[in-house]
Structure 1
């Protein structure tokens, strides 16, 4: 496997961890940068194999990988929150969420969580009040005819009631196997640790065993009210690693994809 790392996205500490893990395994890699806001490389990564290329960086780098036919490249198939809700049901944190177009969201809660249904990064998931949402979608409507807009009034979003979360974990699933994980939040505060309870790993693996969107994704798990729930799924090519075992991730990608 040849890895391509986007140096102008990954924080320096994580980039160093990836480089050390790749070098320790004798895995070839290239560092690239993307022109901000454009899906274009600043410079070419050099000679690449015809297949066996895995990228780690932004969705923009993912678009480059798709355009150039890099395989396995970038995995983002089926990262749709509506599909997650359908497949995981009550195991999803936001199982009572409402999915609709941004323009047609009904007023259900005065304060709520909102995010795109797709892993499009068109806007970051956030907490809003109803007044803030109305101002937000009015702004989206005003610029909807402008070139290169990333969010339109007809794009689907998910709105969910607020839930108090005690702890949050991120786990990487490669070819149907949970290969590494990290705690990243306690309450409202960033709290990174490599310690992931076995029960959390087992819950995540059971969910993956039942259904997985593609061969390389992350599954974020919350503990709320003493229960484990799935927060969301994201691309393994773009998700932050926190205190995950980067070496284990590299090994899994190299041997399983």
Structure 2
């Protein structure tokens, strides 16, 4: 199977881990840039074999148009309202309302959590009060996002945050990535977190291969969000195990 990696989709550390694993396993790959209209790549790839892409929305659309398989697992189920409908109380921000970012009104004295309602990488989740939000909306990174659908939720008490990689409905690797408010990376994941991930898989996921972020909270384990496996960062996950799982499942 041929892997296509969108240039700039990963931070350098993640990129090096991925191409290192592909090279070690003698798996062919091509790094591409996407055109401004999102319909072409440079260099052009004309693969007759199966193709798996590592990229965001524009590369997933190219994969769909060209009929690449397995291509990308990004689909219309990667949105908060559907997660809330399917998971209910298992979702950390269950019941949060969706609104336009430019219409959000926050407290001046306390912070809330704001994130895009879809997995579109428009911006990372933001902890903000009204002053911080106003500054974000006037910066270059946020100035064109006023009409973006976001969710707004009160802050939750979170002790630890984990990322699980799911390939064909199986947990294949994962990572602890935050303890309290501080980044902390470890590939050692508690069995109860993996067990919880398996229960969520049995209940519902937006794709058979995806990424689940899970929080240990004062109300137990909760799903923070789902992410597209084709563009998610690895933290301390075993990247070679992830690559091997994709190859076994789809090549």
TM-score range, shorter chain: 0.7 to 0.9
SS in 2 for 1:159: strand
CA–CA separation in structure 2 for the residues paired with 1:16 and 1:135: 34
**What's the Cα RMSD here?**
2.6
Matched, 1:123 2:135: no
SS in 1 for 2:158: coil
SS in 1 for 2:65: helix
Provide TM-score, normalisation by structure 2.
0.85
CA–CA separation in structure 1 for the residues paired with 2:227 and 2:237: 15
CA–CA separation in structure 1 for the residues paired with 2:116 and 2:54: 22
CA–CA separation in structure 2 for the residues paired with 1:125 and 1:118: 11
CA–CA separation in structure 1 for the residues paired with 2:65 and 2:218: 44
Residue of structure 1 equivalent to 2:25? 25
Residue of structure 2 equivalent to 1:70? 68
Residue of structure 2 equivalent to 1:243? 236
Moved more, 10-19 or 220-229: 10-19
Moved more, 200-209 or 123-132: 123-132
User: Of 147, 151, 156, which aligns to 1:158?
Assistant: 151
Shift of 1:239: 0.4
Matched, 1:89 2:88: yes
Are the counterparts in 1 of residues 99 and 150 from structure 2 also a CA contact under 8 Å? yes
CA–CA separation in structure 1 for the residues paired with 2:134 and 2:20: 47
Provide TM-score, normalisation by structure 1.
0.83
Residue of structure 1 equivalent to 2:211? 218
CA–CA separation in structure 1 for the residues paired with 2:137 and 2:184: 33
Residue of structure 1 equivalent to 2:166? 173
Write out per-residue CA displacement over residues 220-244 of structure 1, whole angstroms, 9 at most, x where no aligned residue: 0111126111111000000001111
Residue of structure 1 equivalent to 2:48? 49
